[in-house]
Structures are given as C-alpha cells and as structure tokens.
Structure 1
Amino acid sequence: MLTKPFSEACEENKAPILAVLAPLLWDCRAVLEVGSGTGQHAVHFAAAMPQLVWHTSDVAAHHSGIQMWLDEAGLPNTRAPLALDVVHDAWPVLAVDAVYSANTVHIMGWTEVEAFFAGVGQLLPAGGLFVLYGPFNYDGQYTSASNARFDQWLKQRDPRSGIRDFADLNRLAEQAGMAFQHDYTMPVNNRLLVWRRR
C-alpha cells in the first residue's frame, strides 16, 4: 500500500503561513497553488478557508501523492492536481483570485522562474494576488548563515537553482503587470511576498 508523502518543513510552516494567508484571502473565491508538492498545504489551507476553492497543481510525478492527501481529507473545496510545468505545459484556464506558491523559485532554473511570473501575470485578473513563500536574498545578501549553506547545497544539486534575490523577482513581477504589496517576515529565515495584479 502506498503511503502519503510527508514534508516536515510543510508540517512546521503551515500554521505560520496560514496566519498570514487567511486575512489576505478572506474575500477570495478560488486560488491556484503552483507546486503543491506533497499536498499538505492544500488540505490545511482549504480546511481553514472553506469560502474558497483550492486548485492544486504540480508536475505529473507529484500528482498521486497530492491526491492521497486530498482523498484522505475529503474536503469539498479542493480540486484534483492539474499538470503544470511552468515552462512546458499550457497554464490552466481558471478563474482565480489568487496564486499561491511555496518553496518553488529556488529549485527552478531562472528561465523557469521567468516563465512562472509571466504565467501568473497572464492568469490573474486585475486586483488578483500572487503570494510567494520561501527564502529570499536582499541586495545580493543572504539573510542568515543557514540560508547561505542552503543555497550552496542547492547549487551543488543543480547549478541552475538557488535562492533568488527579491529585486530580481520584483522586476519580473513588474514586467508581468504586478505591483509589490508586502513582505512578511516568517519563521526560520523565510519570507512571504505579496504582489497585486494591476
């Protein structure tokens, strides 16, 4: 019997993220999560925000694990994972008020990050939110020694990956028609960035 995938990091960060996310999304009707991973965030957030529909997505290899979490939770406001490789797949045709993604841009190559931001800009309606969680650099500097070590590990695993600088991401957001709204400090040297579609 297959066992559900489990991420200790997701388990630890889901409550702090929800504390910031819930006020941001209180009036949203639908959210697309890009890179749903294990599916842990999807079920935790959807259970806490029954007013919205939570659309999951990821590359196909992760779909079975996400579906296990969704099936076990049995929530009426989650949707089966959509196939989304930000470079190679067509973005889903969805009416959403927000796009959420956690711990994704540092494992992507820069070409993928560019495609990701462009896709979000095309999907979101005017006023829609893009919420991005993870570790980020500022002015080319790490925010902690642990982030510097993590970045070194990422680059050894895949030289195209690495912790992204806020200024570079904000430039992509601006090019995609989004205006920066807020930068929330999160536990364990992470941040939660918010942009709004113009």
Structure 2
Amino acid sequence: MKQFAPATLRNREPILKVLKKILPSEGGILEISSGTGEHCVYFAPHFPGCIWIPSDINEGAIASITAWKQESGQKNIDYPLMVDVTKPQWYQTFRESQIRAIVCINMIHIAPWDACIGLMAGAGHLLHHGDKLYLYGPYKRNNQHTALSNEEFDQYLQSQNRAWGVRNMETVVQTAEKQGLHLQQIIEMPSNNFSLIFEKQC
C-alpha cells in the first residue's frame, strides 16, 4: 500500500531544517495533505514531545500513510484522517487535539483555490497566539514566475486541471492575514520553492 514520491527524498532534509526552528516542543502538529506519508514518518521522530496528525483527501494516500506509519513503528504519529479543507468547518474534527502548528507541503498549487481559503480559515480557528502555519511549494511573486521551470510546471498543472496552478505569493499572504495569520518569514528553498512561515496573531 506504500506509495513513493521522489520529490520527498530531495526536499525532506531542507524542510526539516526549517521545521526544527519553528515547530513547538509539545502539542499537536496537524499535517494537511500528507500525500504518501513519507514526510510525516521522517519528521515525527525529530519532535518526540509532539503528536503528528497526518491527513489527506485521497483514499489511496490515506492507505499509504497508514502503511508508512505502521512500518515505522513511530509512536507519536496518529492514524491519518480524511480531510477536505474545502468543506465548511472541516477543522471542527481537531478542536480537542491541542493543535500547536499546521504543516502543509505541496498542496496549494495542486488543488483548487478554495483549498487555500479553507486551509487559512481552519488555521485561523485552530491556532492560538504565537502558533505557526508552515507552507512549502512554488509561488509566483508579484504575479511573476521566479523560474522558467516553475512557469512550465504551472502550465502542466493547468493542463491537468484548470483549477490548479502556481499561486501568487502575495495573494496567499492576503488570504492568511484575513484569518489573523501574519507572514513571519519567507525562505528560499531548493528547486525554486519557498517556505512561508505564518504566525497566529490573535
């Protein structure tokens, strides 16, 4: 049942270096769109005081995450939950989970824009003052692609689904701010990706 994403092997260490600086030492870490599950089994051992809560919208991904979790034997990873962030009040499921951070890797560009809106709404409700939302992926800046490869990737995504595409960073930031999430840091990552770190302000 395990699935493999080649990009995970390339990006997991650079992402982990950032997460070590921003994630809390205890509490729940909710991962939205966990994909294959390879990220969570790699990251969770580095945060032994936290409970890593994976999720995805795809049944195949849920099965893969479960398989990776079981093989890892990692005690601080929950079984994955089916989550669709475009659904109203999807976040109610996690009200009692003491969420202290939300991690979302490579989702916003491979999902309709409503997924970004829903993610920010949920983060706004679940996170408390000082908690972090972490996003990773490609972005345009001032509506301009930062690399030719990203422009080609954007065209490919839209050929698969017109609702997908590389988003404008400033628009994502504005959407977050409406939910009390302040952009704290932008970090350039390998392969023309970015880490965006938001902090809940109120």
TM-score range, shorter chain: over 0.9
TM-score normalised to structure 2 length:
0.93
Distance across 2 between alignment mates of 1:51 and 1:100: 16
**2:55 matched to which residue of 1?**
57
Instruction: Give the counterpart of 1:110 among 110, 113, 127.
Output: 113
Task: Indicate the percent of aligned positions where both proteins have the same amino acid.
Answer: 34
**1:20 matched to which residue of 2?**
18
**1:29 matched to which residue of 2?**
27
| Contact 2:24 2:101 survives alignment (8 Å) | no
Shift of 1:88: 2.5
**1:76 matched to which residue of 2?**
75
| Residue pairs, 1:67-146, within 5 angstroms | 67-88=66-87, 90-91=90-91, 92-93=93-94, 94-146=97-149
**2:151 matched to which residue of 1?**
148
How many residues get paired?
196
Q: RMSD across aligned C-alpha pairs, in angstroms?
A: 1.2
Shift of 1:17: 0.4
Distance across 2 between alignment mates of 1:168 and 1:10: 26
Distance across 1 between alignment mates of 2:4 and 2:200: 33
| Contact 2:27 2:98 survives alignment (8 Å) | no
Distance across 2 between alignment mates of 1:26 and 1:112: 25
More helix per residue:
2
Instruction: Give the counterpart of 2:181 among 170, 174, 178.
Output: 178
Distance across 1 between alignment mates of 2:87 and 2:200: 24
TM-score normalised to structure 1 length:
0.95
Q: Which amino acid counterpart does residue 135 of structure 1 have in structure 2? A: P
Which segments of 5 or more consecutive residues in structure 2 lack a partner in the other structure? none
Shift of 1:29: 2.4
Say which SS state the counterpart of residue 191 (structure 2) adopts: coil
More displaced, 114-123 or 69-78?
A: 114-123
**2:8 matched to which residue of 1?**
10
Instruction: Give the counterpart of 1:47 among 38, 45, 48.
Output: 45
| Contact 1:28 1:98 survives alignment (8 Å) | no
